[in-house]
Amino acid sequence: MVQRRVRIGAVHALANAIPTTQAAFDAGWAEADVAHLLDGSLYLDRNSGTADDSELASRIDRLVRYSEGTGAEGIIVTGSFFGDAAKQARANVDIPVFTSFDGIIERALALDHPLHVISTAPDSATLLSEALENEASRRSRTLSLSNHPVAGAMDALLGGDEERHDALVLEAVTAVDADTVILFAQFSMERILPRSAAARSLPVLGPASEAVRRLRELLGRQ
């Protein structure tokens, strides 16, 4: 009988998150097979308000259950807006389910530097900042934390202008103080992670890369 490689499920609301997620696995856990599930209605209906949080959470729960049923040993739900839904879905499966932020929060709180969150969607900067503050409070940690949504970058990416998206994010990265660790708030931003990291002496953390790192550790596949 052929021994199957470890399988990880990845649930996406945006197609742009798929290549960055796969690239993070290729770099950090090439031995894993990643089964990507895309439901573009999640992003469309959240933005238009045609589905409430309960309905979106129900859809994500079904996707997570389906992914587990295909043999996934762990699941990552990408999309910073869907963290609460991913947490709810955990209760209904027997494998780890990660939000976009779980890995990056764990890594960031292990570093003793000011933190600066950069996002291409305004809500994402707020969501990651709040999640960091909540977890730091739970651990009785004090944070030096700031954030900056990059205006126009997401519109450029969704419109197919990847070059403009990357230029805007790089401009924001280079404007941050040198003694500060930068956190990207969205998986889709990881396309610019190598160039951003090369421009800094301190780490630039991406949510996809850190999710892969943490999930691999959790499943004992170091």
Together in a domain, 81 and 21: yes
Together in a domain, 113 and 190: yes
Please report which confidence band the pLDDT of residue 56 belongs to, taking 50, 70 and 90 as the band edges: very high
Together in a domain, 113 and 132: yes
Q: Domain range holding 159?
A: 102-206
Please report which confidence band the pLDDT of residue 123 belongs to, taking 50, 70 and 90 as the band edges: confident
Together in a domain, 13 and 89: yes
Together in a domain, 108 and 197: yes
Does a structural domain hold residue 50?
Answer: yes
Does a structural domain hold residue 30?
Answer: yes
Please report which confidence band the pLDDT of residue 2 belongs to, taking 50, 70 and 90 as the band edges: low
Does a structural domain hold residue 196?
Answer: yes
pLDDT given at position 13 = 92
Together in a domain, 42 and 58: yes
**Residue type present at position 67:** S
Together in a domain, 94 and 136: no
Together in a domain, 107 and 193: yes
Please report which confidence band the pLDDT of residue 80 belongs to, taking 50, 70 and 90 as the band edges: confident
Distances (CA, A) of 102 to 4, 96, 136, 198: 27, 11, 13, 24
Does a structural domain hold residue 47?
Answer: yes
User: How long a stretch of residues is the chain?
Assistant: 222
pLDDT in tens, 153-191: 989 988 999 999 999 999 999 999 999 999 999 988 988
Distance (Å, whole) CA 81 – CA 100: 9
Does a structural domain hold residue 1?
Answer: no
Distance (Å, whole) CA 90 – CA 96: 7
Could you give the number of structural domains in the chain?
A: 2
Together in a domain, 113 and 82: no
Please report which confidence band the pLDDT of residue 201 belongs to, taking 50, 70 and 90 as the band edges: very high
Q: Measured on CA atoms in the order 24, 29, 33, 39, is the torsion positive or negative?
A: negative
Does a structural domain hold residue 152?
Answer: yes
CATH number for 71: 3.40.50.1860
Does a structural domain hold residue 2?
Answer: no
The residue with greater pLDDT, 16 or 131, is 131
Together in a domain, 202 and 213: no
Q: Which two tokens stand for residue 207?
A: 């949510």
Does a structural domain hold residue 139?
Answer: yes
Together in a domain, 106 and 200: yes
Together in a domain, 93 and 108: no
Residue 222 has pLDDT above 60, yes or no: no
Q: Which two tokens stand for residue 114?
A: 């000011």
For the chain, the helix, strand and coil percentages under 3-state DSSP, each to the nearest 5 = 50, 15, 35
